[in-house]
A and B are shown apart, each in its own frame.
Chain A
Amino acid sequence: MSACHVPGWHVSPATSGLVRRRWVQVLVLVVGQAVAATAAWASFAGQSIYHYQTYRNGWDAREYTDLNALCADATTAYSIATGIRMSSIAVDENLQQCRYEYTIQSPVIGTRPTVAHGGVNFEVVRGICPVNSFAILSVYGRTTCFCNAGFAESGNACLAPPRDLTLGFFNGVWNTEWQAQDGLTAIKRVVGPEYKGRALRFEKFYNQTGRNTGNTAAQDIAETFIQRSKELDGVLANRWEHYWELLSGSSRMEGSLTQRLLGGVRDGASGLSDLIDSLVSSTLAGFVRGLSELVSNPPTEVDVADHVARLQAMADARNDFVLVAHSQGNLFVNIAYDALRKTRPDARAAVVHVAPASPTVRGAYVLADIDQVINGLRNFGSWTVQPINFWMPASTVDLSGHTMVGTYLDDVRQGGPQPQATGVTPRTWVKTMVEAALTQIASRP
């Protein structure tokens, strides 16, 4: 909105002193055109809004929250209109006037000039518009409230748009980035791209197993493979595809490269099979050892600084979160969650723990009885691993019983929350937990 001021103010009866009478024509845009200029207007809900007027022009359509600025403009405009150089000197809230002074030259030579004073009225409009809105004064003197940009009108209120929903994933032990992505996409497939009509964003927070602790155990696993692959005349020596299948827990899965190798040899097959089984066991032991090191020397905020910064930036961009963590990812998600709650209390967040290696949890969790990695931590005994709360049969799809896709998102095996229970797959169980978390954070107005 803009207002065009033409010289010719008349002072109000409260104004004293001699003034030059000139007509002032003030153009006020109609309310509809104010919408185009809304960006220039700040929200003032709850504050006082001021307009100024004289007898001649009616209310000036500009609005002020700052009285000093109003009076400076009003005095300037009045000076231009009258041709008299006036100076704004004070704001008189009792009289609701912008006080000004000016100098009157005496026609008598040698006589000192006289200082005269006057005032331009202003009107106070208080708290007329709700939070997140602004008012425009129409030519008819009515004040109309408009919601600020991005806010939706709802009755007499201006509601903030719903915040975005983000599902973040903190990966498990010694996952490659591909495996972490695989876990997140599997969750996305299970949960779906939206929740109750609201689009979901899926974010991968990748951690390779801490920056300091745990890496020695990962190196140990690789070293073990290097050493053991020299056995049987070095048959596995340059066949690292089997190492990656060991890490992913898929060595004994039907159709795996390792199973194809074992299935195709005749002479010496038992020796090779024994070697593979031995590597599976030592890899599992390596996982448990590394996790125990990590729990003994848990990650700190420094280790998750990049992820926390990302979460904070997303919170500032109006995101709420469901954070899903697997295995050692739970150690990292706890720190990230605590930091987010501390620094961005307005952002809602819930955590879903899958196979938590952490002694504490921040939300619902699932831990299968067949999970050899997490349950193996109990043998290290110096902390408490969460109690088992899901029972299911073992499978060669994932001998470790620990992987996200192979075990906790399996949709074939039936299990349940008690021993011997059947009737629900782990995928359904995890999906239910995630949906409950989404309901929790999405319920804010």
Chain B
Amino acid sequence: MNIQPTKIRLQQGQRRTLALLLACALLSACGGGSGGGGTTGAPAAASPASTPRAPPAAPAPAAQSLQEQITAMESSGAYPKLDRSVDVPGPDANGNGVRDDIETWVNAQPVAASQKKALLQTAKSLQRTLIVALDDKKALQTAGEGLASSSQCGMLQFPEYSDFSKYAGKIEAMTANTRQRAERYMKYNAARSGSSTTSPNGDTCEP
């Protein structure tokens, strides 16, 4: 289904009003000034057609495409403005291992500072899965252990674990948000199939 610009169709009353306006404009253009001491005559008797009417309604705004609306949402903050560049890692200006757009999103969430740190740790561990060497079993295991540690940290920082789980699920979705990243993420998970990892105990939150 394609969205086409909607044509503005005037109502019958609107057409009549417009015609009147045009007529008035023409009449005022043709009317002249007086010649030497010309006197103004009595005004012409008002005709029914010149009775003042309500100004015409403003035309309905053109419908926006879905993409335009989404762009507006991203500009206003109603939807996170995510990096969608083709490179898998994406921008990380401060080099903390968390992609900049995701870091911005986390910092905007209405949670405590310690919970934001836990979410950033989760973002970092998920980001690592996109760049870890897929043929390095030890590195893969380390990446998996990072996921376990960040999950443990989230459990410690959020009184209700499901709250952390919802945030973390969004971070996961945003991390693998392009086709290139999604494909890379699928390869990581395939490489980890058959693995086993112990969940750590105690405080695994990074300083």
Closest Cβ of chain A to B96, distance in Å, is: 19
A63 interface residue, CB < 8 Å from B? no
Query: A residues within 8 A CB of B198?
Result: 201-204
Near B by CB (< 8 A), chain A positions 391-421 give 405, 409-411
- Verify A272–B165 contact, CB threshold 8 A: no
**Are A206's CB and B67's CB within 8 A?**
no
Please state if A204 and B190 are interface contacts (CB–CB under 8 Å): no
Smallest CB-CB separation from A245: which chain B residue? B173
Q: Contacts A177-B144, A177-B147, A203-B197 given: A264-B155 contact, CB under 8 Å?
A: no
Interface of B is mostly: helix
Q: Which residue of A lies closest to B80 (CB)?
A: A257
B16 within 8 A of A: no
Beyond the given A177-B195, A238-B178, could you list 17 further A-B residue pairs with CB under 8 A, ordered by the A residue number?
A: A177-B189, A178-B151, A182-B168, A182-B169, A203-B199, A206-B192, A207-B193, A232-B1, A232-B66, A241-B177, A243-B182, A244-B172, A248-B169, A248-B173, A257-B80, A257-B170, A267-B69
* A186 to B154 Cα, complex, angstroms: 10
Cα(A338)–Cα(B129), bound, Å: 33
CB-based contact B195/A206 at 8 Å: yes
Asked if B193 contacts A261 (CB within 8 A), the reply is: no
> Which interface residue of B129, B168, B193 has the most chain A CB atoms within 10 A?
B193
Q: How far is the CA of A184 from the CA of B201 in the complex (A)?
A: 13
Q: Is the CB of A306 within 8 A of B161?
A: no
Cβ-based interface call for A255 (8 A): yes
List the 10 shortest-distance A-B pairs measured between CB atoms, nearest first: A208-B193, A244-B173, A241-B173, A202-B199, A306-B194, A267-B63, A185-B151, A264-B73, A240-B182, A189-B161
The chain A residues found within 8 Å of chain B, CB to CB, are: 176-179, 181-182, 184-186, 188-189, 193, 199, 201-209, 211, 222, 226, 231-233, 235, 238-245, 248, 250, 253, 255-257, 260-261, 264-268, 271-272, 305-307, 310, 405, 409-411
Find chain A residues with CB under 8 A from B173 CB.
240-245, 248, 257
Contact B193 A185 (CB under 8 A): no
Chain B hits for A268, CB < 8 A: 3, 63, 65-66, 69
Roughly how many angstroms separate A297 CA and B195 CA in the complex, as a whole number? 22
B15 at the interface (CB under 8 A from A): no
Instruction: Please tell me if B166 contacts chain A, counting CB pairs below 8 Å.
Output: yes
Of all chain A residues, the one with the shortest Cβ separation from B168 is A182
B interface, size bucket:
35 or more
Contact A188 B165 (CB under 8 A): no
Query: Chain A contacts of B201 at CB under 8 A?
Result: 193, 199
Q: 15 A–B contact pairs at CB < 8 A?
A: A181-B197, A188-B199, A206-B194, A206-B195, A207-B193, A233-B3, A240-B178, A240-B182, A250-B169, A255-B166, A260-B79, A261-B79, A267-B64, A268-B66, A306-B195
Q: Which residues of B contact A (CB under 8 A)?
A: 1-3, 63-67, 69-70, 73, 78-80, 82, 84, 126, 129, 144, 147-148, 151-152, 154-155, 161-162, 165-166, 168-170, 172-174, 176-179, 181-182, 185-186, 188-190, 192-199, 201
The docked-state distance in angstroms from the alpha carbon of A307 to that of B196 is: 7
B72 closest partner in A (C-beta): A264
How long is the Cα–Cα vector from A177 to B168 in the complex, in angstroms? 13
Task: For the complex, give the distance between the alpha carbons of A184 and B165 in Å.
Answer: 12
